[in-house]
Amino acid sequence: MRAKVHIYPKPGVLDPQAKAVGNALAGLGFDGIGELRQGKLFELELEASDAASARARVEDMCERLLANTVIENYRVEIEE
């Protein structure tokens, strides 16, 4: 089974990397850009009997390693 994990800074958390990218884009002449957020993306293959147990395992991975849940939110997508 294939899982995708999207990890973003929580709303309100200072995101200096996204700010730097936004400024760099403006410097290159791209104007009219509003909110910009930068996140991480994991795509993994895992063995699981069904989508629900795959989701539970990937959420456990997020809580324990992939995301810093103090400052980041995560979203898991399971593709069968």
The site for a second copy (CB under 8 A) is made up of 6-8, 21, 24-25, 28, 30, 32-48, 57, 60-61, 64-66
**Distance of closest approach, residue 70 Cβ to a second copy, in angstroms:** 18
Question: Measured at the alpha carbon of residue 62, what is the angle toward residues 58 and 63, in degrees to the nearest 5?
Answer: 120
Q: CB of 54: closest distance to a second copy in angstroms?
A: 10
The strand pairing partners of 77, in sequence order, are 4
Residue with smaller CB distance to a second copy, 12 or 32:
32
Q: 31 or 70: whose CB is closer to a second copy?
A: 31
Residue 50 to residues 11, 46, 78, Cα–Cα distance (Å): 32, 11, 10
Report in angstroms how near the CB of residue 79 gets to a second copy at its nearest: 13
What is the rounded distance in angstroms from the CA atom of residue 14 to the CA atom of residue 10? 9
